[in-house]
A = this chain, B = another copy of it.
Amino acid sequence: MTFPVVGMVGGGQLARMSHEAGIPLGIGFRLLSDTPQDSAALVVRDVVVGDYRDLDTLRAFARGCDVITFDHEHVPTDHLRALEADGVPVRPGPDALVHAQDKGVMRARLDSMGVPCPRHRIVRDPADVAAFAAEVARADGLSSGRDAGSPGGRDAGGPGAGSGFPVPVVLKTVRGGYDGKGVWVVRSAAEAADPFKAGVPVLAEEKVGFARELAACVVRSPHGQAVAYPVVESIQVGGVCDTVIAPAPGLPAHEAVQAQELALRIADELGVVGHLAVELFETPDGRVLVNELAMRPHNSGHWTQDGAVTSQFANHLRAVLDLPLGDPRPRARWTVMANVLGGDYPDMYSAYLHCMARDPQLKIHMYGKDVKPGRKVGHVNTYGDDLADVRERAAHAAGYLRGTIPE
């Protein structure tokens, strides 16, 4: 048998679902997991428990693999370069992945490509943040001395922010953030102090007055083949993805194509291999700005497991193996993904009875994680012709599993 072994670094749910997608391909799947109890480690045969921050551990892991890919972006870039120097195929490679690891590098690169982004600047301290806020306000024609208003749908500071910035500012540590962690919205110099405490460089961005969030997901192979999934709408609650609707309702076809082309162009110019999620802000006047990049399977693509001909996980594996990519087209008119977050009661299994009996078409995807309030422990997918019905079924199941909907 000449079937290759894919090594995935990180034992989270993305690795779990990648293994699931790899089983039909007949490939080997080797996991580097922090613990034997991580989500993926519970279901994968070939698990190495170790610390991805340790180069020797990575090297030993890589010796059993034909290609290395990732469940997360946290492997130090220099370690990846060392693996590449050892001759290990790393996909996506460090020169691409750094743009998903470091938001400062990402912004600089997108600027150089002329890709529309929120206004931004690396800042050194709260005074620097204040200066950035004043500059944004000035450019928008707001006097820098008064409270932030709400022009163009902008979410402004609350009342009594008289000593604050003229406009709110988003601060992000350039590395290590995810799901709202490492991200702050600040409205005064006092509020701006926290982000600097970790000693990580901080990126300031304007708080975009967006109409909604979109995601354009594409997959690219080493030999340059690429496929684009339908552009989706992503609805966040508390900085965490709550619902994804595929395709994004009411998105004009030319805007959808523009977003797909943008994502394909980023994948190509950055040399991405595998799945790339481009998180976008759609502004009220119909422009899109790039919010974040993720170079791995992504929450905004979970709908593809049940809603597309080829899932993001299967296509990510095919890409890192340089196999021809699968058809990314949808199988249903509408597919909705709703994340299942941990709630107050830990027994989600007993909730299956209600959810499965109520909706025999419901697709449940649980991650094997212990329930903690607010933690992503699974998701559900629903699909059909009637968007309102499809959304209700997903929201009901996710809410019932979490425990926020009693019946």
Contact = CB atoms under 8 A, between A and B. Distances in A.
Interface of A: 1-4, 16-17, 19-20, 23-26, 28-29, 41-45, 47, 305, 309-310, 318, 323-327, 331, 346-350, 352-353, 356-357, 360-368, 370-371, 378
Contacts of A324: 352-353, 356-357, 360
A310 B28 CA distance: 26
Copies of this chain assembled into the complex: 2
Contacts of A331: 331
A364 B25 contact: yes
A47 B41 CA distance: 14
Nearest to A368: B26
Contacts of A357: 324
Contacts of A353: 323-324
Interface of chain A: mostly helix, strand, loop or mixed: loop
A324 to B, nearest CB: 4
A18 to B, nearest CB: 11
Contacts of A378: 26
A23 to B, nearest CB: 5
Contact of A45 (B4, B43, B305): B43
Contacts of A348: 1, 26
B361 A3 contact: no
Contacts of A24: 20, 305, 363-366
A378 B3 CA distance: 13
29 contacts: A1-B349, A1-B370, A3-B349, A3-B366, A19-B23, A23-B43, A24-B364, A24-B366, A26-B348, A26-B364, A26-B368, A41-B45, A43-B44, A45-B45, A45-B47, A309-B360, A310-B360, A310-B361, A318-B356, A323-B352, A323-B353, A323-B356, A324-B352, A324-B356, A325-B356, A325-B360, A326-B356, A326-B361, A327-B360
Contacts of A17: 23
A357 B327 CA distance: 10
Contacts of A41: 45
A42 B367 CA distance: 20
A346 B1 contact: yes
Contacts of A25: 352, 364, 366
A326 B2 CA distance: 37
A324 B370 CA distance: 24
Nearest to A31: B45
A23 B16 contact: yes
Contacts of A361: 309-310, 326-327
